[in-house]
Structure 1
Amino acid sequence: MNALDLPNPPHQTRVVVAMSGGVDSSVVAGLLKRQGFDVVGVTLQLYDHGAATHRRGACCAGQDINDARAAADHLGIPHYVLDYEDRFRDAVIDKFAESYLAGETPIPCVECNRTVKFRDLLGLARELGADALATGHYVASRPLPGGGRALHRAKDPARDQSYFLYATTPEQLAFLRFPLGEMGKDETRALARDLGLAISEKPDSQDICFVPQGRYSDVIARLRPDAARPGEIVDLAGRSLGRHEGILHYTVGQRRGLGLSGREPLYVVRLEPATARVVVGPRSALATSRIRLDGLNWLGDGARGAVRDLPVAVRVRSTRPPRPALLTLDADGAEVVLAEAEDGVSPGQACVIYEDDDPRSRVLGGGTIRRIDALSARPPEAA
């Protein structure tokens, strides 16, 4: 077996590397080339609009495509740029807008990995005769005793991207490789310098690449100009406290920008797209102990129907560590019961399931949060 756990020697093993124009993917291409693999670089042009193509930390557009091409030329590998703008708009950007207008807080990076990168690009890699598709994600995969591969958290917890890759299927995992999963960012940049890459000090890409300056509402307003429906800001009892210019400007857990005065800080605890209401309350109203998931991707062992009250650890935000919970799977998805209630759990976000809270824990899968069981999550009349 070679360094990628593939059967043939490197010179007989073709690997397509997804090159975004950043340091990480360029290092993956250079590292595999140095190890003797037959490396082909592929860059996807995913969008080409507005300030996002010029700001620091963008990816897959504008200057980043030029950076990827320059890195491939320096490494002496073939490189292709593919126009996937239509696919990206349909699979990622449009769904992002729809989810926001439904009162959810979506994660487009998950959808991008699930569709454009690990479905469409993976299919292209196979057409190019590749034995594997390698990316610059900080996540690890390891062979399973009975065949296939398991997904694990990265060596560097500060760089771990497993939260955004939970939707990777077993079939995709068998073909994917993540050479940076056992490295830290400092090691990657050192390798970039050693490889002579001009982008060794380039800033990291942002989580949402197509949102300039992180202003989600601007993107939604451009995509759905008629969607900003004004409405009321109300408390948990339904009493009006003020007005707003559209729920697309708010997310669950938000405190700033409400324009409300009072002695007690208020937070967004629920969005009601049908009535265009923003429901606010005290921080205590954000506590959630039970979560319902759909769109479940199961990477664990055994049949889904056999999983009931399984002790696991779950992550309900990318910035939070995994926390203890009990997991039950059924035909429609999953139910997660948290050992301790968490604040700000929002529909549309991902809930990623880990075997335990170990820093190198295995990823068992995850799903999209659709329902949260908290007093604040129910309409006043149901409380």
Structure 2
Amino acid sequence: MENYFLGLEAVHPSCLAKIITGDKLPKKAIIWEFTNEIKPIDLYCYLQVKYGSPNGLQNFLRNDSSDNLIHWEWSLAGQFGIVSIQGHNFRTEVHLIGEHDGKGLTLEDFIQQIKADFKNHGKSMKSVRVELEKWTRFLNPYHRINSVVAKNIKSLNSLDVKVDEDRELVKFHEENLPKLEENWKYVRDKYDNAIGITFGLRSMLPVLAESFINLIIFVLAKPEIKKNERLLQNTIRQQIDIRVQSLHLNCIGFTRPIDYTDDVCKKFHTLMNERNDLLHGNVEVNKLKIGEVYFKGKVPVFVGYEDMWQSAMGISLSSVKYNTIFDDHAVVTNFIEFILDHLSKDLKEQVQYIMTNSELGYNPANGRLGSLFSDNIADFRVSVNEA
């Protein structure tokens, strides 16, 4: 129907409640969904300009936060009943309540009529949009790395690596012979996974700590550093030990300097140096050696015999330092807690909250940092029964 959706009128919420709960309005409904055929921000500004603030009942049911299933709703009255327009997390919904069925109305009509009317309200829509706060959504690198580390630690634990017991399974004992091939496959698969996970963790643990330090600087850098891009980049690009020892100088909230001679920092620094050798593929024989052997011409003369286990699994386990990976994880977590303990109580709590958010928001207009949305994503659908 031509321009039906342009002739709608806003309804006072009290009247709307009476209409919806009364006996005169048929309990029939049609629900349309669309995503970006009309951008949600354009639709919001248009409805705000044409009908004032959102007046739908859902506005009174929402929490005073961004953690809602329905964020805004306009309810409008027309010839055939109520048209409610709702902004959800993943779509816009249009609910037609009343006698709309059989009137030839379509979602395409709604979209075309609204978009065609933009030209009549463009200037006012722009004014509404300017009044909205613009936030840049970005992923929290610390949270992302920490989540991967936690999942890998859990996976490594679930493999139930028990070197002494697994080694016994593949020894050439008489009782092992019937299942020796099967046991070797079981052990090989388990340890291939363990070695791969450990190698990944070995690479990520120092990055986890470094991402934490960079997050601290991003969140707590002093105003004169934050507003000067060159100063900020210079602060972030310093060597990790300099960054740590300068936190109390470059950031707010630190009650005392970081003592980098503390054993917690010494262990962390050792971990960082090992990471550099690993990532850069440094060839340092003393750090990479796995044993010694003598030769008489082309005849090897072993210093000592190794069993097949040591050649197949032991060397690989040693190369990724499997035996210390859980201790190294503790080194990083202890280091992070050590830094947090140097913050004032209120800022420590704020930073800890930020650390738990996978997504953050940044307001470039005023430099504010915020948690915009819950990490719990939810959606729902309304089932409409035919009368």
| TM bucket, shorter chain | under 0.3
TM-score relative to the length of structure 1: 0.24
Which is helix-richer, 1 or 2?
2
Which is strand-richer, 1 or 2?
1
**Higher relative contact order, chain-length normalized (CA < 8 Å, sep 6+):** 2
The structure with the largest alpha-carbon Rg is 2
